[in-house]
Amino acid sequence: MEQLRIYIGTVLLEAQRWNSKAPLTCRVSEWIERFSRAGFDGIELWQNHAALATEEELTALRQSRVPIPIFNSYASMDDAGLAGRQLATRFIREFGAKAVKFNVGKNPDTVEKELATAAAWSAEMQGVRLLCECHGGTALQEPCEAARLLANRPEIDVIVHAFSSTNLDDWMTRLNRRIVHVHSVCMDEKGNRVRLRTRAGFVRERLRQLRDSGFQGTFTIEFTEGVAKAPENPDALFAAACDDMAFLREGWES
């Protein structure tokens, strides 16, 4: 069985991930050697780790020994998001990313226009896949609606949250090979983010569902134990991410 390709999401290590106006707390270049030693196959780079970085940091990212296959963009798919998309395109080209993560908004009345904008953006970035993160709080949070709206958008693939979605089977049935990437985040019954092995049976069952559906995509450790638990400790977060990566590899091969 082919080994999973598992990436580290740099948003995991950024204490100001939900405050776009605050100074960065994480310089990704200082973690690259640790990413490599731990065995991560690549980096999903959070947009502000490039957009707010110094030129010295950008140079280090361009020279990263660990590839950056996915750029995690939060540029909106409306007119106001044009500058953000253009900046994302610049970084995608500079870092050699092969895919870009994006989201649509909450309004079902505008989602078709947003997807049309995304498709046009894809045409500008020949060879770069668009990965639509389909989760709660967006107009594509239900698999039936996502399948309907994406049916005529072959340039757009799908990210699911396999360990927090309540209807993974429905996602896999309706979108199947369109699902090419998984964001790994697991919650306990109290809504706390936990390590995957904390819910070992549940996670193994979800991995079985993915395998049985023919999933051949990639994973990013997006969030894990310790996120949003003050005071956050980046070393502890990284240790938990490494443990999640190990558990994914074990579970996939079992």
Would you say residue 132 lies in a domain? yes
Name the token pair of 135: 């989760």
Give the start-end residues of each E strand in 55-117.
70-72, 99-102
List C-alpha distances in Å: 85 to 72, 81, 127, 150: 11, 6, 16, 20
Q: pTM of the predicted model, to two decimals?
A: 0.96
Q: What is the pLDDT, as a whole number, of residue 25?
A: 95
Confidence of residue 1 (pLDDT cuts 50, 70, 90): low
Mean pLDDT of the chain: 95
How far apart (Å, rounded) are the C-alpha atoms in residues 162 and 176?
A: 13
Q: What is the CATH number of the domain that holds 165?
A: 3.20.20.150
Does the residue 189 lie in any domain? yes
Task: Establish if 1 belongs to a structural domain.
Answer: no
User: Can you give the residue range of the structural domain that contains 113?
Assistant: 6-253
3-class SS shares of the chain: helix, strand, coil, % to 5 = 45, 15, 40
Q: How large is the average pLDDT for residues 131-152?
A: 94
What pLDDT, on a 0 to 100 scale, did the predictor assign at position 8? 98
State the pLDDT at residue 79: 93
Query: Given this model, what pLDDT does residue 136 score?
Result: 86
Question: Is the pLDDT score of 183 beyond 70?
Answer: yes
Is residue 45 in a domain? yes
- Total domains in the fold of the chain: 1
pLDDT-based confidence at 2, cuts 50/70/90? low
Q: E strand or H helix at 45, and its extent? A: strand 42-46
Report which of 166, 165, 174 is spatially closest to residue 143, judged by C-alpha positions: 174
For residue 120, give the amino acid letter. A
Cβ(65)–Cβ(32) below 8 Å: yes
Give pLDDT tens digits for 63-79: 999 999 999 999 999 99
Residue 157: inside a domain, yes or no? yes
For residues 178 and 158, the answer to whether their CB atoms sit within 8 Å is yes
Strand partners, 102: 132
Residue 104 lies inside a defined structural domain of this protein: yes
